[in-house]
Chains A and B, each alone.
Chain A
């Protein structure tokens, strides 16, 4: 069964800092990897996803995937207080049968950006 580990558990940074979040997964057959943002008491919101080895950039977000090491990272440039939230890494398996729409989530990283 897929396992997703995130680090660090929590992070406090000043406004404007670069934030780096890490995620390791266990199954080499994993398909896409998503990063979700979740504010307290709210549903997760998808930020960015990656399927192929390498990196992908969208606005202030950059995600790096290394399939050989089963590792993915999310980097947030010029962090803002509004970025304060829980960041969840989620991994999908081939979309068949019981894996339909199934994302395996990590426990998340709590990010606080102080002004």
Chain B
């Protein structure tokens, strides 16, 4: 069975501080990986996607970056947090091709103060 693990569960960070969020998928080889973000009261929106190791595409510009250092790992980061970065960050995976279902992790709640 496939599992998706996100860390940390929650973060409280100061404006201007760095951030690193992680996601690991087990039990599925070479999945497509995604980062989604949900601002408080807002809709879920896709931030990044990756179809292979080392390749990440940006969908929305939010002064964030993403990397895929291993087939089963996806990292979201920034060197300087903004207040507007607060929200709920979700990692997801899908099969390689076609209109496949997205499977989401449990998410990371980020509060920037």
> What residues of chain A have their CB less than 8 Å away from a CB belonging to chain B?
4, 31-32, 34, 41-46, 49, 51, 88, 90, 92, 95, 98, 100-103, 105-108
Contact = CB atoms under 8 A, between A and B. Distances in A.
Contacts of A95: 97-99
> Interface residues of A: mostly helix, strand, loop or mixed?
loop
Interface of B: 32, 34, 42-46, 49, 51, 57, 59, 90, 92, 94, 97-107, 109
Nearest to B10: A41
B46 A101 contact: yes
Contact of B51 (A31, A32, A100): A100
A43 B99 contact: no
Contact of A105 (B43, B51, B100, B106): B43
Given A43-B105, A44-B104, A100-B57, A31 B45 contact: no
A107 B39 CA distance: 11
A105 B59 contact: no
B99 A102 contact: no
Given A43-B90, A95-B98, A100 B49 contact: yes
A61 B106 CA distance: 24
A102 B49 contact: yes
B106 A42 contact: yes
Contacts of B32: 100-101
Contacts of B42: 107
14 contacts: A34-B101, A41-B107, A43-B92, A44-B90, A44-B104, A49-B99, A95-B99, A100-B49, A100-B51, A101-B46, A102-B49, A103-B46, A105-B43, A105-B44
A90 B101 CA distance: 11
A105 B44 CA distance: 6
Contacts of A31: 99
Nearest to B103: A46
Contacts of A43: 90, 92, 104-107
A80 B90 CA distance: 27
Given A98-B57, A98-B59, A100-B57, A41 B102 contact: no
